[in-house]
Amino acid sequence: MTELLDSSSLKRLMAGHAGEIGLRRVDHGDDWAELAFDYDPRLAMNAANGVLASGPIISLIDSASGLAIAAKIKTVRPMATLDLRIDYVRAAPPGRAITARATCYKVTRSVAFVRCVAHDGDPADPIAHSLATFFFTGD
């Protein structure tokens, strides 16, 4: 599994939009993955106060969740996000990297279920929590 999450497959997964916002793999385990991105003023919703917009955080959570599924099933499969519910607990402050740790807690033949927490350094003080379901669209 380490080869899967450290290889060119991961580079392909992190290209495009994920690459544009600077997503990077932090760590992973048998059923979880951590991704992060560093603060970039281009990602702020308001240049005056520098608070991050929700879009990059949503992308981070969605990507970490998909990677947690790959860690759990030991392969990368095509999938679509069916449902992604995010509860924002507080604003993402300017100048801080954001990390998301997602855990895939159940996989059926066609659906995977994931929990995720996004934070800016202390998982006990989250920015957001999420619950998501993903539908496998192919093998």
Q: What strands, in cross-sheet order, belong to the sheet with 24-28?
A: 24-28, 32-37, 98-107, 111-119, 128-136, 79-88
Q: Over 70: is that where the pLDDT of 7 sits?
A: no
Give tens-digit pLDDT for 60-100. 999 999 999 999 999 989 999 999 999 999 999 899 999 99
Domains in the chain, start-ordered, CATH in brackets?
A: 2-136 (3.10.129.10)
Closest CA to 63 of 107, 106, 110, 10: 10
Q: What is the pTM of this model?
A: 0.91
Rounded CA separation 108/80 (Å): 14
By residue count, the chain amounts to 139
